[in-house]
Amino acid sequence: MTRQTVLNELHRRLGARMVEFGGWEMPLYYGSQIEEHHAVRRDCGMFDVSHMGVIDVSGTEATPFLRRLLANDVARLAQPGRALYSVMLNEAGGVVDDLIVYALQPGRYRLVVNASTTEKDLAWIKRHCTEWGYCLDIHPRVDLAMIAVQGPQARQRVWQAFPLSRCSEDMPRFSAVECGPMFIARTGYTGEDGFELALPKEQAESCWQRLQEAGVRPCGLGARDTLRLEAGMPLYGQEMDETVSPLDAGLGWTVALHDARDFVGKHAVLAQGQRWQLAGLLLLDRGVLRSQQRVLTAHGAGRVTSGGFAPTLQQSIGLARLPRAVSCGEAVEVEIRDRRHAARVVKPPFVRNGKILI
């Protein structure tokens, strides 16, 4: 059965086009997907991300447990309030999920995982906790809703709607703070500045309405995907899955391989090494790049992992898994409907903080 977020009735009242996504009914757009995209790049937009999984892990052994479970090292979170992007690997070195982990207090962490993998992730975490003999409280936070507010004016609009959120004013990026009942993280998935707000479900609708009154534009999944593609951000199930090494998914920077710490999948990743690279593609001919299209290079064939029309660039772009020997700037061809189309290899991100980078 398709699940509903606490804000779904509000989305319908706002005239959103609703679609199924990862087992959830979600807004695709509220009017114009392109205008929603530009609102985030130029001003401020908000997304209902209540479908994302939130799992709190706490206990005196939480840090050593997560150091064994995750490929990035939570020991880098030297103080409460800092955040870390990581992947969780299986024994073969494939990606179970990518996630953000927040250090809330000593011995207390919050993991934000993908919507479609939440149940799998929770079972994976509990299984290893039991097998390794750790005594921890692993608590899925089904009581929370999440709203992402993104764009160059995002923080000002949040402070306007919620004056108490000024406690977040000096936060560096990739950090979080608890302001009363609201958990404010300076993170996002658009390539723009902003906050991700976690708050009790019963307060979600009033929060959304206050943000809208402050000038924040509602945005749907369509704009969220074009924004993350322009920002060169990976999507689980496309750039990575349980059969793909993080090194081949462009996520080597999230894997702390060269220290004495052991973690699930480390030996497999070291044994395999990097076989592919994740690169950007800029389509030079007419057409649209899409996932699974074949990319022909002088060094062998690769595949588009994500693609689409980029509103900021006004042309089609993509992410692709290519042979490692392919260089930035190299000319390649993409097979689109049995025809070859010219493209150029570029280094993502394509757009960050409103600026075109290629």
pLDDT at 89: 98
CA gyration radius for the chain? 20
- Over residues 183-191, mean pLDDT: 97
Q: CB–CB of 149/142 below 8 Å?
A: no
Query: Residue 146 contacts by C-beta under 8 Å, 6 or more apart in sequence?
Result: 48, 49, 50, 52, 54, 112, 196, 197, 198, 199
Which of these ranges, 20-24, 159-163, 226-230, has the smallest mean pLDDT? 20-24
| Dihedral in degrees, nearest 10, Cα atoms 258, 260, 261, 264 | 70
Three-state DSSP state, 226: helix
pLDDT at 2: 87
Q: Tokens at residue 151, please?
A: 């764009």
Identify the band that residue 152 occupies on the pLDDT scale cut at 50, 70 and 90.
very high
pLDDT tens profile 11-58: 999 999 999 998 999 999 999 999 999 999 999 999 999 999 999 999
- Over residues 214-243, mean pLDDT: 98
pLDDT at 326: 98
From the number of C-beta atoms within 10 Å of its C-beta (0-12, 13-18, 19+), residue 29 rates as buried
- CB burial string 149-178: b at 16+ within 10 A, e below: bbbbbbbebbbbbbeebebbeebeeebbbe
The amino acid sitting at 20 is: E
- Over residues 114-118, mean pLDDT: 95
pLDDT at 104: 96
For the cut 80, the answer to whether the pLDDT of residue 1 exceeds it is no
Number of H helices, E strands in the chain: 8, 21
Q: Tokens at residue 152, please?
A: 């160059």
For the cut 80, the answer to whether the pLDDT of residue 196 exceeds it is yes
The residues that bridge with 301 in the sheet, in sequence order, are 296
Higher pLDDT pick, 152 / 164 = 152
Element holding 102 (H helix, E strand): strand 95-105
CA distance 154 to 165: 12
Residue from 130, 109, 118 nearest 58 by CA: 109
The mean predicted confidence, pLDDT, of the chain is 97
Sign of the torsion formed by the C-alpha atoms of 206, 210, 211 and 215: positive
Ordered domains of the chain (ranges, CATH): 8-49+143-230 (3.30.1360.120), 275-356 (2.40.30.110)
CA distance 128 to 147: 31
pLDDT tens profile 254-287: 999 988 999 999 999 999 999 999 999 999 999 9
Q: CB–CB of 137/60 below 8 Å?
A: no
Using CA atoms, how far residue 63 sits from 45, 101, 121, 177, 199, in Å, is 35, 11, 18, 19, 25
According to DSSP, residue 314 is labeled: T
Q: CB–CB of 247/273 below 8 Å?
A: yes
- Over residues 76-90, mean pLDDT: 95
What percent of the chain stands above pLDDT 90? 96
Place of tokens 């490692």: 324
